[in-house]
Amino acid sequence: MSAINDATLFSLRLSLQVATVATVLVMLVGISVAYILARKDFRGRVLLDILITLPLVLPPTVTGYYLVILFGRNGFIGRFFYDLTGWSIMFTWYAAVLASFVVALPLMIKTARAAIESVDKNLINASYSLGHSELETVFKVILPLSRKGIIAGVVLSFARALGEFGATLMIAGNIPGRTDTMPLAIYTLANSGEWSTANFMVLFLTLISGFFLYITNRVGMRAV
């Protein structure tokens, strides 16, 4: 296959790297937030839920717009960071991670939250009455019992992170050899008429996404 060249391999590696890092972060943050939303009652819970879910329904370009406003070199958070360190996340692969993270997070939270909420309350209460702390209860009872939903969330998040385009384009640019993940590289190749080079990546993304759907289905089936 002549379609596989250095640039293609770079995009492939970068995409996997971005999606993996983003998914790890999504797991850490997503499961914690899902637990809090499912089990705690506090002021602003609904607002938090809406804010975190927004990227799921917003056009990715709008999410990207907000990210630039927040994290750009002159952004609300970005400016502070730049003044302090002289470094800006814009146009780096970290920006691609950030975009993927924000866009994939709601998928993780939605699925994990539903799974945590469906854990039998009696089992949780039993754990507490047997003297387990909250942390022990989370790790020994709640998470093991909701693992199928969590696995499904992780797989969906990874797939979403791998396919992120709009927000990534806005905050990470589309810098050949640096921030051109597969979806961005495909766009550039199609724009410049190099369809044959794009073929490999298109095929790869199609196959891997199909594989992920298969996994989530399998996990889902066993969960029922």
Partner 1 sequence: MSILLCFLSFLVLGGRYAEATESLTVSAAMSLKNAFEDIGRVFEAKHRGVKVYFNFAGSGTLSRQIESGAPVDVFASASVRYMDNLERKGLIIKASRRNFAGNSIVLIVPSTSRLQVSSILGLLNAGVRRIAIGNPGTVPAGEYAKEVLKHFELWGKLRDKLIFAGNVRQVLDYVARGEVDAGMVYASDAGTRPDDVKIAAEVPAESHSAVVYPAAVVKGTGSKALAGEFIDMVTSENGQKILKNDGFKPLGKERP
Is residue 26 within 8 A of residue 105, CB to CB? The reply is: yes
Chain residues binding partner 1 by CB under 8 A are 72-74, 88, 90-91, 173-176, 188, 191-193
Is residue 83 within 8 A of residue 192, CB to CB? The reply is: no
Quote the least distance from Cβ 8 to partner 1, whole Å: 15
Is residue 9 within 8 A of residue 172, CB to CB? The reply is: no
Quote the least distance from Cβ 73 to partner 1, whole Å: 5
d(CA 140, CA 119) in angstroms, rounded, equals 12
- CB nearer partner 1, residue 34 or residue 99: 99
Closest CA to 102 of 89, 114, 115: 89
d(CA 50, CA 109) in angstroms, rounded, equals 12
Helix (H) or strand (E) holding 204: helix 195-223
- CB nearer partner 1, residue 173 or residue 220: 173
- CB nearer partner 1, residue 192 or residue 217: 192
Q: What is the DSSP string of 36-53?
A: HHHH---TTHHHHHHHHH
- CB nearer partner 1, residue 30 or residue 60: 60
Going by C-beta distance under 8 Å and a sequence separation of 6 or more, which residues neighbour residue 69? Answer: 75, 76
Quote the least distance from Cβ 192 to partner 1, whole Å: 5
Is residue 113 within 8 A of residue 37, CB to CB? The reply is: yes
With 0-12 / 13-18 / 19 or more C-beta atoms within 10 angstroms meaning exposed / middle / buried, residue 202 is middle
- CB nearer partner 1, residue 98 or residue 109: 98
- CB nearer partner 1, residue 60 or residue 72: 72
Quote the least distance from Cβ 167 to partner 1, whole Å: 15
Quote the least distance from Cβ 174 to partner 1, whole Å: 7
Quote the least distance from Cβ 91 to partner 1, whole Å: 5
